Structure 1
Amino acid sequence: AFTEYKLWVKAFTWKNEGESSAPIIVKTDVRGPSPPKIVNISCLAEDALFIQWQRPGRFYNSIDFYYVDYRSEEWLDFEEVALPARSPLGDETVHGSF
């Protein structure tokens, strides 16, 4: 999903405001990353999962962080954990009430 912007420029002096340039409409050429691929989930304990994933195949410049959302089938709401992106293969132990 690209973001569309409408922009224009004005010049100012200390005394007066100039006229606006003609507006232009531009779109960003940066999309969000494609989805990561989960490659392993292991149950470490009653309240801990080890999750491993591969970074997205398509992304611009770098991946900064991931969000892992989880819930028990008995819950309505998801829990969310924000994790920094450290390497091409992400892995993390998530503790919660599973």
Structure 2
Amino acid sequence: MKISLSLEGANVVIEIRDFGIGMPKNILNNLFRMDSPTTRQGTSGEKGTGYGMPLVREYLQMMNGSIEVFSQEVDTSDFVRGTQVILRLPH
């Protein structure tokens, strides 16, 4: 796992990157939907409710921030398998 913090203009950018199993497209496409909870068992057998990411996005939007998530289950020339989450918050 890699966590980094940087400044981009008027924003603080927090980037969280793991190199785990990644997420399939059907989960990634519905990740922020409250009406379609997305969850699956993690690499250590942990379970979730599927409602965490929609709540994170709502809270960030209330603070004029944003979130982006990129994920792949296999390595490509552009992206190593895993998940990348980018949070942007005004400072």
TM-score (normalizing by structure 2):
0.34
Q: More relative contact order in 1 or in 2 (CA 8 Å, sep 6+)?
A: 2
Q: Which protein is richer in helix relative to its size?
A: 2
Determine which structure has the larger strand proportion and give its number. Answer: 1
Q: TM-score, normalised by structure 1?
A: 0.32
